[in-house]
Structure 1
Amino acid sequence: MFTGIIEAVGEVVFCEPRGGDLQLRIKTRDLDLGSVALGDSIATNGVCLTVTALPGDGYVADVSSETLANTTIGDWCAGTSVNLERALMPSSRLGGHLVSGHVDAVGEVLSRYPDARSERFRLRAPDPLAKYIAQKGSITVDGTSLTVNRVAGAEFELNIVPHTLENTVMGTYVSGTRVNLEVDLVARYLERLLLGDKAAEA
């Protein structure tokens, strides 16, 4: 589990195809890996990845074909900047909201414009996710916990403050940027619970 509070921005060193899936190496820059061990999880642009090696300046992780099909990782190349967050510890502050690191779908940035010292972003989610996105609710965009300001169908708006722009990859977003989206965990489980006995039907 994660909080959606980004700890550092890292950089993709390489993406190597491995028989239908992929191996990544990430340089972590300012992220302290002193407490990270093999098998630990690191959210990388919102994708929960398992550390398979610690070469000293970052980590290596394997990416399954399922993850490649449902995230933006297939778009990454050497030099791509990525948001990083280590897994939540029992003693951690929950500054954002509970984030699983299991990306629901890929969305798209439609536009951005200044609003005082902040920036307003308008994004589009795939239609099946629209029912989970609520005004003043939480959503995770590339691993960053954010509050939804407005919703219109499958489109939604975010107000991003200067600190977030400077300390995440959101400052690089332009119209057409593809982003990883994770909807609020509570909304997903609530929908399943409301199905009742029908949830067991194929």
Structure 2
Amino acid sequence: MFTGIIEGTVNLKKISKNKNNFSYIFSCKLPVKKKDIGTSISINGVCLTLVKFSKKKRNNDLYFDISPETLKITNLINSKVGDFFNIEKSLKFGDEIAGHFVQGHVDDIGKIKSFIKIKNSWQIWIQIKSKFKKFLITKGSVSVNGISLTINNIKNNMFRVDIIPHTFNKTNLNKLKKNSTVNIEYDLLIKFLKQNVK
């Protein structure tokens, strides 16, 4: 479980294939310890298991095994060496809940339809699959590449989020543009209500 409050970005260093799975290696400034091996870490909103790490002079290399199914349902399939990804360690007992509950289970891949700077903020319209529109609620929460954001407007099968400078500078949103793909996870509570309340 995560909160959608991004701790920083990591750089994709290497992709390798081992039988049916893939290994992704990310270069990261985030401190990690031996006890972190086997724990869940969110990479672009995808819950992955840290299988090992190696310490370098300035950064740590983080190793994750990724299945073909995970690649199929997330934007990791479009990733290239050198790309930047958002990272967040899993929630621990006593941590502050500053965003919203994010599972790291991606529901959809959205496409950025417009990316406009307005004064000191950015307005982003994201297109999703029509079948997921029922999970959109104005002023509700949504996870975009693992970032906890507020839905400020909805039109057809698109929604708008507004990005403040802190979020823009701390996440990989500053690397994206029109037609970029993003991982979407809809609010857990909204999904529960829509699926269980008649």
TM range (shorter): over 0.9
The answer as to 2:169 corresponding to 1:166 is: yes
For residues 14-29 of structure 1, the aligned pairs below 5 Å read 14-29=14-29
Unpaired stretches in structure 1, ≥5 consecutive residues = 196-202
Q: Could you list the per-position Cα deviations for residues 115-150 of structure 1 after superposition, in whole angstroms to 9, with x for gaps in the alignment?
A: 220011111011111110111000000000000000
> 1:143 and 1:73 mapped to 2: Cα distance?
13
Alignment of 1:171-182 (within 5 A): 171-182=174-185
2:25 alignment partner AA:
R
Let me know the Cα RMSD of the aligned residues.
Answer: 1.3
How far the C-alpha of 1:17 sits from its partner, in A, is 2.1
Note the residue ranges of structure 2 that are not aligned, 5 or more in a row: none
1:156 match: 159
Note if contact 1:21-1:68 (Cα within 8 Å) is conserved in structure 2.
no
| C-alpha contact 2:134 2:194 (8 A) present in aligned 1 | no
Identity of aligned residues (%): 30
Q: For 1:59, which of 62, 66, 69 is the aligned residue?
A: 62
Equivalent in the alignment of 1:33: 32
CA contact 1:111–1:175 (8 Å) conserved in 2: yes
Mapped contact 1:9–1:84 kept (Cα < 8 A): yes
2:113 corresponds to 1:114? no
Pair 150,51 (structure 1): closer, same or farther in 2 beyond 3 Å: same
- Partner in structure 2 of residue 42 of structure 1: 41
- The alignment's TM-score, normalised by the length of structure 1, stands at 0.92
Range with bigger deviation, 173-182 or 53-62: 53-62
Which amino acid in structure 1 is aligned with residue 79 of structure 2? W
Report what 2:144 is aligned to. 141
Aligned residue for 2:16, secondary structure, equals: strand
Q: Distance in 1 between matches of 2:129 and 2:16?
A: 28
Residues 167-195 of structure 1: CA distance to partner in whole angstroms, max 9, x if unpaired? 00011111010000000001112233236
Question: CA separation in 2, counterparts of 1:61 and 1:99?
Answer: 20
Any conservation in 1 of the 2:115–2:122 contact (CA below 8 Å)?
A: yes
**What SS does the corresponding residue of 2:81 show, helix, strand or coil?**
coil
User: Which residue is 1:100 aligned to?
Assistant: 103
Equivalenced residues, count = 194
**Deviation (angstroms), 1:36:** 4.8
Alignment partner, residue 4 of structure 1: 4
SS of aligned partner of 1:134: coil
Which residue number corresponds to residue 132 of structure 2? 129
Judge conservation of contact 1:15–1:76 (CA < 8 Å) in 2. no
